[in-house]
Amino acid sequence: MKLHYEFSIYNAGKPAWRTADNTGCWLTTHTPPTSMAVVSGTRTTDGKPLIFMGAFVAEGGHGLQWLHEDGTKLGGQRWVGGHWTGAPTIAVDTQGRVWVAECDNYPRRVSVWTANGKLVRAFYGPTEYGGGGVLDPQDRARFFYKGMEFKLDWKTGVDSLVRVFARPNPLLAEHYGPYSPDTPLYPARQKGRRYFTSCYTHIPTHGDDVAFTWLDGARQARLVAALGNAHSWFVLREAEFRSRWPEGTKPEEERPRREVSAAFAWTDANNDGRPQPAEVQFAKASCRGVTVMNDLSFVVSRFDGRNMRFPATFDYTGVPRYALTKPEDLGPAGGWQP
């Protein structure tokens, strides 16, 4: 196997990584661009105006960086400390153009506009901590990341954002950031339909105990199903679901002992994109390590000490359904639960 670098996606850095002279990489992984300031050429060493842009918190990359007005990055530093602010989010350069730090993760973007509102240029990225993103297995010119679709030109090494098909959903908020549709799946039994799952890219250091699936549409992807540890999805611990939990479990606890834990399966039966109590199945079981296969079956690495597969059936609209009480037993779980 021979590896070689092609080009970076969703990163305006040239190159995308930090270099000795600090002209490489683009901003930082932890937070989006939030601040912008312009310094006129009368106050710079080379007589050329500088654009300064900053981010709230920087662990990797550059929390503060500076550019010429043509977009050439000249330098940066990793950590500024506390709140660095120029004019918050907006600055006007010496050509009368408006630079905007859009303070958003979906996408992360710095945009440049004329005074009459015409977009001149946009700088995208970088990815969040741990990177991520997935090439479409059916089209190498298509790339997905955090609910965004990019078009790739392999000849020129250029990527362009073509669609934002999912924005952060308050129902899917989590410590590491919201669950989002990243990995495309094409079940053989659902020709012409594309699905997404969150399970392979949500956490940069380990797996998840709950996974979600989305059904793609012409413009947006719709949340349609989930399965996993009921304690890991905060929505299911709310009062309206308590009567559905099995006897002997503790829905009020986020990390209970295994013997009082519950698993769940949910299908969006009424197409509103959120769970109702009648749509959710619960079972008294410990559930850890959830992945979604290309046929949309869920595989749980440790379901009460067993490795279990939950196959999907589909209704006429392509929405998957699961029977939590009828899994396929794949054998004993390996390893030891931390």
pLDDT of 150-209, one tens digit each?
999 999 999 999 999 999 999 999 887 899 999 999 999 999 999 999 999 888 777 889
Return the number of other C-beta atoms located less than 10 Å from residue 248's C-beta.
Answer: 10
Q: Which DSSP symbol is given to 202?
A: S
What pLDDT band is residue 84 in, cutting at 50, 70 and 90? very low
Return the number of other C-beta atoms located less than 10 Å from residue 265's C-beta.
Answer: 22
**What CA–CA distance (Å, rounded) separates 205 from 193?**
30
Tokens representing 259 are 């013997």
The pLDDT, as a whole number, for residue 80 is 59
Q: Which DSSP symbol is given to 305?
A: T
**What CA–CA distance (Å, rounded) separates 110 from 99?**
7
**What is the signed CA dihedral for 217, 223, 226, 231, rounded to 10 degrees?**
160
Domain ranges of the chain: 33-124, 134-332
Angle at 132 between CA 338 and CA 237, to 5 degrees: 50
**What CA–CA distance (Å, rounded) separates 308 from 331?**
7
Side by side, the strands of the sheet bearing 90-92 are 90-92, 98-101, 109-113, 119-124
pTM of the model: 0.89
Each residue's pLDDT tens digit, 210-263: 999 999 999 999 999 999 999 999 999 999 999 999 999 999 999 999 999 999
The pLDDT, as a whole number, for residue 5 is 83
CA-wise closest residue to 110 among 37, 163, 181:
37
The pLDDT, as a whole number, for residue 319 is 97
Return the number of other C-beta atoms located less than 10 Å from residue 301's C-beta.
Answer: 19
Each residue's pLDDT tens digit, 273-310: 999 999 999 999 999 999 999 999 999 999 999 999 99
